[in-house]
């Protein structure tokens, strides 16, 4: 019996994958919003980072793993989910823009 066929495990797996999906989509939307709202981030590097985030949203929304392929899920969901965060949070300019974003929203 596969884990996805166990009725007691299905809600847990659903919640786990829903959380990963929401973190990915909201994180990528935050990156796109930050880059587009701060004029200091209108450089080619951030343009490509925004495009990477947009492509990641599309990729994560259309990927359907095969049954029982846990390793496939790790490579197709978790790794792309972390890439934009790693690239954006390593940069001092994007950290500053993220700090100024709440004051611009208010």
**Nearest alpha carbon to residue 33 among 78, 88, 86, 87:** 88
Closest C-alpha to 95, from 40, 13, 26, 19: 40
| pLDDT tens digits, one per residue of 3-45 | 567 788 888 888 888 888 888 899 899 989 989 988 888 888 8
**pLDDT tens-digit series, residues 63-102:** 665 656 666 666 666 767 777 776 666 677 777 777 777 8
Handedness of CA 29, 45, 75, 60 (dihedral sign): positive
Query: Which residue carries 């080619």 as its tokens?
Result: 44
Predicted structure pTM score: 0.59
């Amino acid at each position: 019996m596969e884990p996805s066929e166990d009725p007691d495990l299905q809600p847990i797996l659903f919640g786990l994958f829903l959380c990963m999906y929401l973190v990915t989509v909201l994180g990528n939307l935050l990156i796109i919003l930050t880059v587009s709202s701060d004029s200091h981030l209108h450089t080619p590097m951030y343009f490509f980072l925004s495009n990477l985030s947009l492509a990641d949203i599309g990729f994560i929304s259309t990927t359907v793993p095969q049954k029982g392929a846990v390793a496939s899920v790790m490579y197709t969901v978790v790794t792309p989910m972390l890439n934009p965060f790693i690239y954006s949070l390593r940069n001092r300019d994007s950290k500053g823009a993220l700090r100024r974003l709440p004051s611009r929203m208010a």
